[in-house]
Amino acid sequence: LAKTTQPISMDSYEGQEVNITCSHNNIATNDYITWYQQFPSQGPRFIIQGYKTKVTNEVASLFIPADRKSSTLSLPRVSLSDTAVYYCLVNTGKLIFGQGTTLQVKP
Amino acid sequence: NAGVTQTPKFQVLKTGQSMTLQCAQDMNHEYMSWYRQDPGMGLRLIHYSVGAGITDQGEVPNGYNVSRSTTEDFPLRLLSAAPSQTSVYFCASSYSRAQETQYFGPGTRLLVL
């Protein structure tokens, strides 16, 4: 199982772009990279998923270099409501969560 | 669709008691799983199922049993509750595989005294 490493916490201000990088050195050929967001007292919510290069949706962008050993979640122009824990996951057969990155957005 | 539902929302147990946490989904999803989340921690996978009649262990299966007799339901049983099982429990489902978008339930908060 590919292990992921991401920063424990990050601070940002409203309106800024936030980039959270995740390392997954042992990623396997068939693994996808998935990011989830979790607010306090709620279950995680899917944000974005990718395999290589760049994926963009209405919420975020995901950048994956050619070697796929890392990925970067990019949140454009964050607001206070983006304060949450963000999890990077890599897995083929089952979904294993790490500790995640706690993002604190300040006014 | 109601999505993923979990009952109860909150439960207090005494050490040694048994109980079943219910999870149901109405999206015809094949893949279902149970996680526990302790304060300040990420989610840890307890058990999962890739379809009716098929279950497998996750990271922390000890003290928990599951069964999957129907596609819709995936109950989690605590055989003899211990204080170490105090946690928030989340159930999740996806269409066919773990890699697909997982839909999480609202969680069950369990306190074992």
Q: In tens digits, what is the pLDDT along chain B, a chain of 113 residues?
A: 779 999 999 999 999 999 999 999 999 999 999 999 998 888 999 999 999 999 999 999 999 999 999 999 999 999 999 999 999 999 999 998 877 889 999 999 999 99
* In the predicted structure, residue A2 carries a pLDDT above the cut 70: no
Average pLDDT over residues A23-32: 88
Q: What average pLDDT is seen over chain A?
A: 92
Q: Phi, psi (5° rounding) for residue A86?
A: -115, 125
Which residues, numbered 53 to 92 in chain A, qualify as contacts with chain B under a Cβ-Cβ cut-off of 8 Å?
85, 87, 91-92
Query: What is the distance between the alpha carbons of residues A4 and A91, in angstroms, rounded to a whole number?
Result: 10
* In the predicted structure, residue A37 carries a pLDDT above the cut 90: yes
Query: What is the distance between the alpha carbons of residues B108 and A41, in angstroms, rounded to a whole number?
Result: 10
Query: What is the distance between the alpha carbons of residues B35 and B30, in angstroms, rounded to a whole number?
Result: 17
Distances (CA, A) of A12 to A21, A48, A80, A84, B9: 15, 21, 9, 12, 33
Among the partner residues A41, A87, A91, nearest to B99 by beta-carbon distance: A91
Confidence of residue A1 (pLDDT cuts 50, 70, 90): low
Residues of chain B with Cβ-Cβ distance to A46 below 8 Å are 101-103
The pLDDT value recorded for residue B106 is: 95
DSSP A18: E
The pLDDT value recorded for residue B1 is: 72
B55 interface with A at CB cutoff 8 Å: no
Q: CB pairs below 8 Å between A and B: how many?
A: 57
Place of tokens 């974005």: A48
Cβ proximity of A21 and A71 under 8 Å: yes
Q: CB A25: neighbour CB atoms within 10 A?
A: 12
Query: Which chain A residue lies closest to B45 (C-alpha atoms)?
Result: A96
* In the predicted structure, residue A27 carries a pLDDT above the cut 70: yes
Residues of chain A with Cβ-Cβ distance to B56 below 8 Å are 94
The pLDDT value recorded for residue B87 is: 97
The pLDDT value recorded for residue A92 is: 66
Query: Which chain B residue lies closest to A86 (C-alpha atoms)?
Result: B42
Query: Which chain B residue lies closest to A39 (C-alpha atoms)?
Result: B106
Query: What is the distance between the alpha carbons of residues A60 and A34, in angstroms, rounded to a whole number?
Result: 12
Would you call A94 and B33 a contact, using CB atoms and an 8 Å cutoff?
yes
Residue in A2, A8, A24 with CA at minimum distance from that of residue A94? A2
Question: At residue A83, what is the residue type?
Answer: T
The pLDDT value recorded for residue B104 is: 95
Question: At residue B73, what is the residue type?
Answer: D
